[in-house]
Amino acid sequence: MTPKFARLAAALLIAASSAFAQQPDLIPRSVLFGNPERANPSLSPDGLRMAWLAPDKKNVLQVWVQTIGKEDTKQVTNDKKRGVRIYRWAQDGRTLLYLQDNDGDENYHVFGVDLVGGNVRDFTPVEGTRASIVAAEASVPTEILVTLNARDRKLFDVHRVNLATGAIVLDTQNPGDVGEWRADSKLNVVAAEAKTPDGGTELRVRDNAKSPWRTLLKAGSDDNLDIISVGADGKSLLFASSVGTNTTRVTELSFAASAKGKVIAFSDEVDAGPYLVNAYSKKLQAVAFEPGRRTWKVIDPSVQGDFDAIAKLADGDFQVFNRDRADRNWLVAFTSDRGPVRYFLWERAAKKGTYLFSTQPKLENLKLSEMKPIVVTTRDGHKMHGYLTLPAGLEPKNLPMVMFVHGGPWGRDRWGFNSYAQWFANRGYAVMMMNFRASTGYGKAWLNAGDKQWGLTMQDDLIDATEWAVKQGYVDPKKVAIMGGSYGGYATLAGLTVTPDYFACGVDVVGPSNLRTLLKSIPPYWATIKATFNKRMGNIDDPKDEALIREASPLFKADRIRKPLLIGQGANDPRVNKAESEQIVEAIEKNKGSVTYVVYSDEGHGFARPENNIDFNARTEAFLSQCLGGRAEPMQGDRMPGSTAVVKVVGAAK
């Protein structure tokens, strides 16, 4: 090498080292993706105790309970492996309820912990069934209502459970089309949300358990119509509806009314929600709207002062998510884009907020990256909302980028702390998270614009967003990866097949590869929403949709996959069967392509166990570093201790 080129190489090396030196220290994956130190606190109905989630000595998430004002913290669950993530208080003063499935199969059972005697009981002990909690009311403290598909795996009937004896009896039988049930404050099932054969929605009500059902409202397949809650009188319904408008409006309607009801809150820009409903009085108190950040519209004047004061407690967006029965104390969560979720106890009488804890204290005081709400104009003139995160410590110019695609696709990304956005940014990547067409939250026109557009305009939206970032100068167009889970995994496969030369590489987590086999293998209890899939994705039983479904399926374009691909899959996934990943891996191998495929034997639709999640993310980090050039925390050994990863490497990926 000549002295001139040696000096140039040295200068480039110094420049590169300097660029990386400006970045904050690597945040360990264990901090970003490990169990929270504490999370999801909940006050007991009598306000005397508080529960929360925290890992035990074996790093398995459990429920812990403490009497307020005492040092008597006690672990009350003893899950052996997967960890408890969903729990709530019963109303009898001694039972804590939680849900658990088996290695990710999503056949949840409802368990109860007797906090006096310590006994744990499975209230829904029917193998192969899925249960959920409908209601627990103070007026009937010794009972709860649950749904269970024991009679017919396709349908959920409501059952009444006696907390003291464990006895479970059928309360309300599903006529064949109900997907959601609601009860009044006396624990009577009085409202139902059913799906019509054409994909529409029907709200039904009855005056009491012995009265016949009658239709209160109907909506077509293009409209949103969802029950929020039953009114305090048990004779009215609070619901969100887009009938006659683009965005959903919060509306109240009496069971006896013949009119359309009273509109309580709406925005012409975005759908209404989340909602704050007092779980005990049943009063609607506030409605949130989220075009980019969250804003609250207070409905109940009695809480206006609380909301005004709470907003001053901390930076970020807040939500009141729990309270005691007397409504004296609230638990409030603040989310920020640059810090963990922080929890406060709000004492209403004193107008005093007390900081409790954050989910991950190790993230505090770190240099994290700002998540900015953005709006991108699509090629066909629509305004698409999303979020851009640029890495702290680097000049926002010609960066490598990860297009991180949300699942659903009938869901949305939100502002706040996102482990993946911070992880990618910390490693040196720009991150885009877009609410492409078919996403919820931005009105029915944007939602319905995604109908039968898998691999088509939905994919164009992701390209348009990337092109926007390139034109702003933020991103190097040759260094863009695409990654996501579920639909985001599908979008990854579509990105590498529909536009095989556009993305530099892709990471697919539990993504479907063939829409026909996906729709044939959906869980039986999704039968009531089959018409919705037909409308939004295509009907596999209709010859008119056959070509559309095939064209939208990446499996049949596997020969076009020329860029590096990493696939992660849970062996017990009930939504996207592991055959979806296996068949495209097989096709890539047959076409002499390359792919790395990782299966976790004790996971379902995504990776719940930290050992597996961190293991796959370590592989993803090394993969992206090789593809895009970002930083990477070394992986110790060939797998994370405790992980059940089984790896298959095909072709040049070796």
Question: Which positions are annotated as active-site residues?
Answer: 486, 573, 605
Instruction: Measure CA 225 to chain center.
Output: 20
> What's the DSSP call for residue 576?
S
Nearest to 178 by CA among 215, 145, 143: 215
Pairing of β 399-405 and β 430-434 = parallel
CB contact at 8 A, 111 and 90: no
SS3 74: strand
Cβ-based burial of 356 (10 A; exposed 0-12, middle 13-18, buried ≥19): middle
Q: Which residue has the tokens 């994705």?
A: 537
* Axis-axis angle for helices 487-497, 457-471 (nearest 10): 80
Residue 49: CB atoms within 10 Å: 21
* Axis-axis angle for helices 610-628, 419-426 (nearest 10): 40
Residue 278 vs residues 267, 285, 322, 597: alpha-carbon distances, Å: 22, 7, 9, 47
Residue 609 vs residues 100, 484, 578, 605: alpha-carbon distances, Å: 13, 18, 18, 12
Q: Which amino acid type is present at position 558?
A: A
Residue 521: CB atoms within 10 Å: 16
CB contact at 8 A, 565 and 596: yes
Report d(CA 48, CA 324) in Å as an integer: 9
At 638, give phi and psi (nearest 5°). -90, -5
